[in-house]
Amino acid sequence: MPLHVPPAPAPALRSVLTALSSPTAVREARTPSLLRAQGPATPELPLPVHVLDRVTAEGVSATRLAGWRFLIRIGDRAVAAAETMLTPDGWAFSRFFEGPYITSTERALRQAETMPQPYQPRLLSVPGLYMLTLWLHEDCTADGAVGHPAATDLLVPLAPAPPGIAAHRPHRVAELLPVLTHRVTPTRLLGSPA
pLDDT tens-digit map of 74-98: 988 899 999 999 999 999 999 999 9
Q: What is the pLDDT of residue 192?
A: 47
pLDDT value at residue 189? 44
Average pLDDT of the chain is 88
Is 49 or 147 the better-scoring residue by pLDDT?
49
DSSP codes joined into one string, 166-186: -TT--EEHHHHHHHHHHHS-H
Q: How are strands ordered across the β-sheet holding 154-157? A: 90-97, 77-87, 61-74, 41-55, 120-126, 131-137, 154-157, 171-172
Indicate if the alpha-carbon torsion angle 29, 31, 32, 36 is positive or negative.
Answer: negative
Q: 94: closest CA among 194, 184, 188?
A: 194
Instruction: Provide mean pLDDT across the span 136-145.
Output: 94
> What is the predicted pLDDT for the residue at 68?
97
CA–CA gap between residue 91 and residue 66 (Å, rounded): 11
Pairwise CA distance, residues 166 & 145, whole Å: 27
3-class secondary structure, 50? strand
- Is 112 a residue whose pLDDT tops 60? yes
Give me the count of residues in the chain: 194
Average pLDDT over residues 32-55: 87
What is the rounded average pLDDT of the residues 117-138?
94
φ, ψ dihedrals at 81, nearest 5°: -140, 155
8 A C-beta contact, residue 106 and residue 88: no
Confidence class for position 1, pLDDT limits 50, 70, 90:
low
β-partners of residue 178 are none
